[in-house]
Structure 1
Amino acid sequence: MKFRFRQLLVALLLLPAVVSAQAVKYPYQNTKLTFKTRVADLVKRMTLEEKVSQMLNSSPAIPRLGIPAYDWWNEVLHGVARTPYKVTVYPQAIAMAATFDRSSLFTMADYSALEGRAVHNKAVQQGRANERYMGLTYWTPNINIFRDPRWGRGQETYGEDPYLTAIMGNSFVRGLQGDDPKYLKAAACAKHYAVHSGPEPLRHVFNTDVSNYDLWDTYLPAFKKLVTESNVEGVMCAYNAFRTQPCCGSDVLMVDILRNQWGFKGYVTSDCWGIDDFFKNHKTHTNAETASADAVLHGTDVECGTDAYLSLVAAVKNGRLSEKDIDASVTRLFMTRFKLGMFDPVSMVKYAQTPASVLESAEHKAHALKMARQSITMLKNQGNTLPLKKTIKKIAVIGPNADNGIAILGNYNGTPTDRVTVLQGIKAKLPNAEIIYEKAINFTNDTLLDYRDVSGQYSIDGHPGFKAEYFNNVELKGTPVVKTEAEVNHFWQEGEAIGNGIKATNFSARYSTNYKAGNEGFITFEIDGDDGWRFLVDGKEVLNIWTRNRWGAQQYKLVTEPGKSYKLELEYWQGDGKANIRMSAGTYKKTDFAALTERIKDADAIVYVGGISPQLEGEEMKVPYPGFDGGDRTSIMLPKVQTELMKAFKGTGKPVVFVMMTGSAVAIPWEAENVPAIVNAWYAGQSAGTAVADVLFGDYNPAGRLPVTFYKGDSDLPDFNDYTMTNRTYRYFTGTPLYGFGYGLSYTTFKYDAVTAPSIVKKGNKMVVTVTVTNTGKMAGEEVAQLYLTYNNNAQKTPIKALKGFNRISLKAGERKMVTFTVSPSDLSLPDANGKITPLKGKFTVSVGGSQPDEKNVTTGNIVKKTVTMM
């Protein structure tokens, strides 16, 4: 009886509030009616004020109608993000693009949606379903084109190519939304619409204007596919303006193209705080009322971040728009919620029955490792330096990313129970070897904080450690929850329980202690935290970072007298997203490269793990390091200190392997010439270290491909603010890249032959191309066969070349397989100067191989070509 009672209780808790009282008081509660009929009935019963309240991302409950509260804001970029529960974290989006495997991405999205359902179900059970990051409307994927490698958020995209982005985005949406004919597993959202890709510091004020050709050739194809073919449920409009109108109020983008030409029926959300930009930054509107009315008239249904949309009540009464305009938006919003099954019994919605056991399931974790392996891109392997032998006796693992558990998770991430760094992966691979690890340098300098254990020098009220006070607000007001903690080192996902009813959402904290100085004469305190904090010594504020953007770690040098006590106070508040605050102590020490190389000179190999990190590149960050600005980069060169360290390593005469982590293209001209082996590991998720070790020691044959061009240096790049595609990306770059889009090496080789393609294709018809691929090496491996079109008609503007097909295949040594590409009529078309899509004219060349047709570096296989004429 107790077991049955618990089952019944759980079932009741899982029911939305509107269903648990299911006496079918209103037609909208009648599950036998269509969603369209039910939504229409619900909307007509709401007052104007109630309708407007539902157009905020945090929508309040309407008890009289049985409508539960709901927050639309959630993220699932590469696994469920920012949830307080432990989840599977897959490689960052740019890394998943490097797999060139649409099937793997589909599976990742499918698994992530299941975990998202489990998170939502747990939140319902715990009465938290109305909290941010607990809903089923995910604001992913980011299908902006990564046009410039300096953009810090490019790591969230599928790279620089419209075709690859569209194909991968389509796989993501279909995997996430599921295949049920009635209900959505989860709701995807294509962002940021459109013509958006930095610079981050200017995004709230920037106005973009590109030609109709660039608009339709580069910036819109992925959005068009997701809207017209993938049936994506949502679209997020961008912060910036397009042709002087904010994107969320753009005649061209929102009305003419999205709603009219493409017939989009789903919901549109603003980017967060984007409506405020209308009148605060773009200055195109006078106040919240005029901005909000215009956004709604352009089809923006949800306002995220602020409450400007509350002014819509006055806007209707003042005649700026009609209540029917409000009804159109609210109808779209509730249609999405109904399609997610939020107003139907759990028994009717199979996805609502997803158990918590899917969280971090063995199958999901295995897939995270698979995709991490698939994403790793080998850029150089001179003299077969790789794979390293597992019989190696001594190995040096050096660098700022060698044991960096933050870098591997990327941004917009969740938190897994376990994560494997490269150092940990190599240790697991070589249980009997001697492994020397040193961080050696930071990303941009050679002066490290030599951390010391000073825990014995902290005390408060006669007890060791810190007095920790947690407040259920961001003002450090009221009666706090008080704890004693040994150290300040916290990382919470938003909403995670801190204790005694305090959750990691809109909270603040104060950490107090007395530090008793030793005889050193000075000590440096290093503080790292998101959102805002300030540090006080003896009541005097010495550091103050009150911003919701991450600055990176900050230091304060305290000159001390032996035996004297100093009162330390660290105050912290959290706003949006995850929260973290850490304080360490030590003294600065400049790394002696000569001494370091002397310590490791007898190692059998040196693995340097460097590159950059999501601690440096990302969304609207303030990072006080050279080469970085606002989350973007001011230079794409690998920071000089890293090159200098590798030069020192070269002097040892030992094999050097450069494992580079990055979310974007990094220029490494010296390394390309002088380091024998280079492996790009991206931000590969929770199993990054295992995947890297598998590649380095030959347990996995790499086949990742670059989804972006790796340029030689900054001089290859046009002005960051210039959105025209001239000399940008492999499709229009007239120079010679260091490593081209689509490039990647293998431990084996492949041969392409027996290509077949029609000599003539009629306008409006598809083109089928086949090719035979043979593994000509001695090791099984995967190959990414790529099909490019090169255009021979000078009368029409075209890309220099363009990817129009790819297929990742696995071949045993000596095995042959036929690969078939079907090129659609739309992929055999191009926009004209006015943006009108027209079929190709005249002759073009079809090239198939393991890379671009003119890749200068050694590739996995040859290129086969055929000339075709469009009639």
Structure 2
Amino acid sequence: MKRRYTILSLCISTLSVNISYAQIARQQAAYQNPKLSIDARVKDLLQRMTLEEKIAQMRHIHSEHFDKSQRVDFAKLNSNNTHLSYGCVENLSLSSVGYAKAIYHLQRFMRDSTRLGIPVIPEIEGLHGVVQDGATIYPQSIALASTFNPQLVTGMTDQIGSLVNRMGVKQVLSPVLDLARELRWGRVEETYGEDPFLVGEMATAYVKGLRKHNIICTPKHFVGHGSPLGGINLGSVEGGTRQLFNLYLPPFAKVIKEANPLSIMNCYSSYDGEPVAGSFYLLTDVLRKKLGFKGYVYSDWGSISMLYYFHKTASGPEDAARQAVMAGIDLEAGGNDYKLLEDMVKNGTIQQRYIDSAVSHILYAKFAAGLFEAPLPDTAQVEPYTHTRQSVQLAKQLADESAVLLKNNGVLPLQLVKIKSLAVIGPNADRVQFGDYTWSRNNKDGVTPLKGIKDLAGDQIKVNYAQGCDLVSQDKSGFKAAADAAQASDATVVFVGSQSASLSRDYKDASSGEGFDLSDLKLPGVQEELVEALKATGKPLIVVLVTGKPFAISWIKTNADAIITQFYAGEQEGNAIADILFGKVNPSGKLPVSFPQDVGHLPVYYNHLPSDRGFYKQPGSIDKPGRDYVFSTPDALWSFGYGLSYTSFTYSDFQVSKENYATKDTIQVKLKVANTGSMAGKEVVQLYVNDKVSSIETPVEQLKAFSKVSLQPNEAKQVVLKIPVTDLAIYSRDGHPMVEDGEFELRIGIGADSIRWKKTVVVEKLSVKKSTPVLNKATDNKSRRKKTSL
């Protein structure tokens, strides 16, 4: 969602309230009775509403409801005695206290000065922290995913929920469920990575934390948005029904089933040639009928208008509004096409039943979120929850667990008693990289790596700093000062990577974030040349990649002594990386997305089909040309799930609950994990599955379970991982899940390409009514494999 935020000072003078007979009457109406079911309350309220009131529910209070001095124009809201309440209010980018006061008065207006007293839904962005001045900025989503710790993510959104609930906010426009399958795309940083299982786990954890506070969540962008053609934002997504159901839908299905988010945001893209904003199949047949979604669909900003001026599938605003409403978009954000609906109903262009359906979905969410019972924020309790000791501690823990150690030739951790001087170099050394969808890009709102290192080192280590180069320019004039600083030090840490625009503001130096896509995945500017110059000094070289996405850093992998990827780590970035460099924290992050050797190797996601990494298996090199590819291998530089530690772990005592399973069963794998090193650490145990023979091509392996375990030196723990057999299902062309009988190989690993243990189990044939034969042969080559319909 692309949006522009401005500071809006609202008129918060006391509203005079005149209690009328209409207010008394509506207090006795059925829809005001919380003891009734939500469906009954929706039905009662809907039949009381005029067409004009219904359509207002499908729209925002936005810029048109503020005067030129940017004050709320209550007279305009109440103009012509229409007494309209609206669906949502947004774009109130104030301090948290100012926001709460504004919403307090706005909700009083809606409750007391509109005919039916329907509250508005105040909404806000909150991908990795509340987008309000002064609120805690947590690590970006890609960093949250690298923790492989869903419990911490739930803790984060529990903290966010404590604040926004007091502010009067009842909807958070997050999380992002897109899969990072196209690494050139600028919004990779907003995702939880490339794997649908991990994305589903993290997104569900996110939603559960906010739902504790009865906040509406809006998982986005439905559906397929993370795989745009060419990596260009808003580009079309190619795929069919099998790819839709087997790859893109599972994260949404999990969140809807397990966390009840109450809202979904459609994407800008087209899928298989059909713009999602106008797709009845995707928004109604799939989302509501297949996935069982019962909340309301919130349009991504301006996506309805895009049907006519971008996709060219609508003839104009009226046609776009008709298509979107009939497809299943209930509320329009960032546009004015839905204001045409009243006349369209009156002239017969669209049937009112579509309006009633949309409004019922919006009202359902409002009742479910408790807006009718307690719509007014507690303004006195906002400031103490804006930036708390607990939220800062959690931001630090998330940053600690998100850093991924990719290489270590024994130089890390640095030891204060041995290192007397340290060079801190690079364009990202003295700035905090918060990532997109944050309220700040100012160092004062976080801790830079340079500050974190200096604070930790104190008087024990001399820190020699030089920037070296900018993030994107070709200027090498700072190389000499950087090399001199390295020469004068015992070791060098260089901070390279990217920078994101913040909500499409502060464009300078941006190479990541919404609308900032790349045609090449080499480090921007002359950053790699800076690393080469530092390597030439002969001093131990530690590279920290501060980024929102993977870059192709093959030369650095070969030549650096140690490499850490620190995905945008939030306000505690500097403290976290300092503690990791000096061993106060043991890195435990794992890659949620694979790194490519070069942009020409894309895609490099681990869960590819068997036919997608070459046939000849004779990869070449510069010195020895081959096939698949002529001058390189098709392998990733680092694969999904990879990440090192300062300690060592051993896996042993593997057990499987049994070897033959029915579809109603759950596969259970037990093993012992031991810390055999000298430092406390955390290990992520990963369980993958390979379907050995299937009726359609299935990925070479798929993550199906994981567990993060904390171990002291010489400590061992039993880890139990479970997979419901139904999770082994594949989907037919019509989106029906089927578990096929036959052999499945279980794989325990420390990464997708680092498997420690394998075991084959069998899903047995069952005689069921919907069991259908398939064309491929079973593993014994004698009988045909069967599917069990779920």
TM-score (norm 2): 0.80
Give the whole-Å Cα distance in 2 for the aligned partners of 1:18 and 1:303: 32
Return the offset for 1:639.
Answer: 3.2
What residue is the counterpart of 2:145 in the other structure? 97
Alignment partner of 1:413 out of 428, 438, 461: 438
**Match of residue 128 from structure 2:** 78
Q: Distance in 1 between matches of 2:304 and 2:531?
A: 48
User: In 2, are the aligned partners of 1:398 and 1:437 still within 8 Å (CA)?
Assistant: yes
1:741 corresponds to: 640
1:820 aligns to 2:706 (yes or no): no
Q: Does 1:281 align with 2:167?
A: no
Q: 1:435 to 1:18 in 2, by over 3 A?
A: farther
Report the alpha carbon displacement of residue 428 of structure 1 after superposing the two structures with TM: 0.7
In 2: Cα distance, 1:18 partner to 1:187 partner? 32
Matched, 1:611 2:480: no
Q: Give SS of 1:686's match.
A: helix
- 1:821-860 mapped onto 2 (5 Å cutoff): 821-832=721-732, 835-852=735-752, 854-855=753-754
Aligned ranges for residues 744-759 of structure 1 at < 5 Å? 744-757=643-656, 758-759=658-659
Deviation string, structure 1 residues 387-420 (Cα, Å, up to 9, x no partner): 3436532211111111113x2x111124597411
C-alpha displacement of 1:795:
4.5
- After the TM superposition, which residues 676-825 of structure 1 pair with which residues of structure 2 at under 5 Å, given as runs? 676-717=561-602, 727=612, 735-757=634-656, 758-793=658-693, 795-825=695-725
Q: State the match for 1:870 in structure 2.
A: 763
Amino acid aligned to 1:705: K
**Which of 474, 481, 488 is the aligned partner of 1:602?**
488
Superposed displacement of residue 728, structure 1: 9.2
1:256 is aligned to 285
- Name the CA shift for 1:25/1:222 in 2 (closer, same or farther; >3 Å): same
Amino acid at match of 1:792: K
> Is this contact kept in 1: 2:437–2:503, CA < 8 A?
no
Q: Please state how far the C-alpha of 1:97 moved relative to its aligned partner.
A: 0.1
**AA in 2 matched with 1:780:** A
| Identity across matched positions, percent | 34
Q: Is the 8 A contact 1:242 1:250 kept in 2?
A: no
Q: CA deviation at 1:36?
A: 3.2
Secondary structure of the 1:383 match is: coil
Pairing 1:348-497 to 2, within 5 Å after superposition: 355-389=382-416, 392-405=419-432, 407=433, 409-415=434-440, 418-432=445-459, 433-447=461-475
Task: Judge conservation of contact 2:546–2:567 (CA < 8 Å) in 1.
Answer: yes
Q: Deviations over 1:317-340 (max 9, x none)?
A: 122322232122112212222222
Q: How does 1:239-250 map to 2 (within 5 A)?
A: 239-250=268-279
Change (3 A) 1:619 1:755: farther
Q: Call closer, same or farther: CA 1:205–1:738 in 2, change over 3 Å.
A: closer
- 1:713-736: CA deviations, max 9, x gaps? 11211599xx9998499xx99932
C-alpha deviation, 1:670, in angstroms: 0.6
* Cα shift at 1:18: 12
- Which is richer in strand? 1
Partner residue in 1 for 2:188: 154
Query: Is the Cα contact below 8 Å between 2:412 and 2:583 reproduced in 1?
Result: no
TM superposition shift of 1:22: 7.2
2:215 is aligned with what amino acid?
A
Q: Tell me the distance in 2 between the aligned counterparts of 1:323 and 1:657.
A: 64
2:207 paired with 1:173? yes
Partners of 1:214 and 1:725 within 8 A in 2: no
Asked whether the equivalents of residues 692 and 745 of structure 2 are also in contact (C-alpha less than 8 Å), the reply is yes
Partner amino acid, structure 1, of 2:46: V
Shift of 1:763: 2.7
Q: What amino acid is the match of 2:681?
A: G
Distance 1:789 1:766, change over 3 A: same
CA deviation string 1:632-689 (max 9, x = no partner):
1111122361121111111222111111111111111011000001111110001011
Which of 202-211 and 223-232 deviates more? 202-211
CA gap of 1:620–1:438, structure 2 versus 1, over 3 A, is: closer
**Equivalence for 2:162:** 114
Hey, what's the Cα distance between the residues in 2 that align with 1:232 and 1:726?
Answer: 37
Residue 849 of structure 1 contacts residue 864 of structure 1 at CA under 8 Å; is this kept in 2? yes
Higher RCO (Cα < 8 Å, 6 or more apart): 1
Measured in 1, the distance between the counterparts of 2:381 and 2:249 equals 35
1:650 matched to 2:535? The reply is yes
Residue of structure 2 in register with 1:516 after alignment: none
Partner of 1:587: none
Cα distance between partner residues in 1 of 2:714 and 2:449:
32
1:233–1:336 contact (8 Å) kept in structure 2: yes
**How far 1:798 sits from its partner (Å)?**
0.9
Residue 562 of structure 1 corresponds to none
SS at match of 1:107: helix
What do the CA deviations read for 1:354-384 (whole angstroms, capped 9, x no partner)?
A: 6542221111110000000000000000134
Q: Cα distance, 1:386 vs. partner?
A: 2.7
- The amino acid of 2:680's aligned partner reads A
Cα offset for 1:169? 0.9
Deviations 1:259-315 (A, max 9, x none): 112221100011100010111121211121221122112221110101110011111
Counterpart of 2:47 in structure 1 is 44
Q: Which amino acid aligns with 2:337?
A: A
* Matched position secondary structure for 2:406: strand
Residue in 1 that maps onto 2:218: 189
CA–CA separation in structure 2 for the residues paired with 1:175 and 1:310:
35
Match of 2:294 among 250, 262, 265: 265
Q: 1:780 to 1:420 in 2, by over 3 A?
A: same
C-alpha displacement at 1:797, in angstroms? 1.3
* CA displacement at 1:781 relative to structure 2: 0.4
What is the rounded CA distance, in whole Å, between the counterparts of 1:80 and 1:150 in structure 2?
27
What residue number does 2:31 align with? 28
TM-score normalised over the length of structure 1: 0.73
Offset at residue 58 of structure 1 (A): 2.3
Residues 828 and 20 of structure 1: is their aligned pair in 2 closer, same or farther, counting only changes over 3 Å?
farther
Match for residue 661 of structure 1? Answer: 546
CA distance in 1, matches of 2:174, 2:473: 35
1:306–1:808 Cα change, 3 Å: same
Match of 2:782 in 1: none
Q: Is the contact between residue 591 and residue 642 of structure 2 (CA under 8 Å) also seen in structure 1?
A: yes
**8 Å Cα contact 2:142-2:192 kept in structure 1:** yes
User: What code does the residue aligned with 1:70 have?
Assistant: V
The amino acid across from 2:638 in the alignment is Y
Task: Give the drift of 1:28.
Answer: 3.0
Of the candidates 107, 114, 121, which is equivalent to residue 64 of structure 1? 114
CA contact (8 A) 1:785 1:850 kept: yes
Gap change, CA 1:72 and 1:420, over 3 Å in 2: same
Q: Counterparts of 2:211 and 2:568 in 1: how far apart (Å)?
A: 25
Letter of the structure 2 residue corresponding to residue 420 of structure 1: V
CA separation in 2, counterparts of 1:715 and 1:271? 32
Distance 2:264 2:46 in 1: 22
Letter of the structure 2 residue corresponding to residue 441 of structure 1: C
Offset of residue 243 of structure 1: 3.2
Change (3 A) 1:157 1:335: same
| Aligned counterparts of 1:628 and 1:335: Cα–Cα separation in 2 | 34
Alpha-carbon distance between aligned partners in 1 of 2:639 and 2:503, rounded to the nearest angstrom: 23
Letter in 2 for 1:737: A
How far is the alpha carbon of 1:256 from its aligned partner?
A: 1.3
**Between Structure 1 and Structure 2, how many residues are aligned?**
680
